[in-house]
Amino acid sequence: MEDKLELRHERPSVEQYLALRMEAGLSAMSAEGAEIGLPRSVFAVTLYEEGALVGMGRVVGDGGCFFQVTDIAVKPSCQGRGLGKIIMREIRSFLDTVPDRSYISLIADGEAARLYAQYGFEPVMPASQGMFLRR
């Protein structure tokens, strides 16, 4: 890991979270939702450089049966340096400690599937299909 990069096992602040999601091209979330959801993270990892948040990732779920990897984001100016791999390495280490037979999932957007495959994630199609509720 680069000397000036600081890895923390903590969630970002609401403001940091919302800003990095937008900057990284992820969908917008509400401040209200982030205030409720972030403290309920099962696991979180953040990367800081010179005091600024440059990467993050979280695991959400019930803590026993179901876990979902979410919010994997790296500041665009810091992409291509392996920060996504650092985040996923930390998340995978955490996931290796959860109960056997837990269902661990994620939704991979575009080329991100190649990163996740390096950490053991596989497509669920055709046996299953990811879906979401559009509101």
pLDDT digits (tens, 9 = 90+) for 89-131: 999 999 999 999 999 999 998 899 999 999 999 999 999 999 9
pLDDT digits (tens, 9 = 90+) for 4-20: 999 999 999 999 999 99
- Tell me if 120 sits within 8 A of 95, measured CB to CB: no
Q: Which pLDDT value is given to residue 2?
A: 56
- Tell me if 8 sits within 8 A of 25, measured CB to CB: no
- pLDDT score of 1 more than 70: no
Q: How far lies 114's CA from each of 46, 69, 92, 100, 104, in Å?
A: 21, 15, 15, 25, 17
Task: Tell me what the mean pLDDT of segment 27-44 comes to.
Answer: 98
- Tell me if 64 sits within 8 A of 54, measured CB to CB: no
Give the bridge partners for 52, in sequence order. 49
Of the candidates 89, 78, 84, the residue with the CA atom closest to the CA atom of residue 4: 78
Structure token digits, residue 74:
């790296």
| Residue 94 CB-half CA count within 13 A | 23
Q: How far lies 120's CA from each of 14, 53, 56, 86, in Å?
A: 30, 27, 19, 15
pTM assigned to the model: 0.94
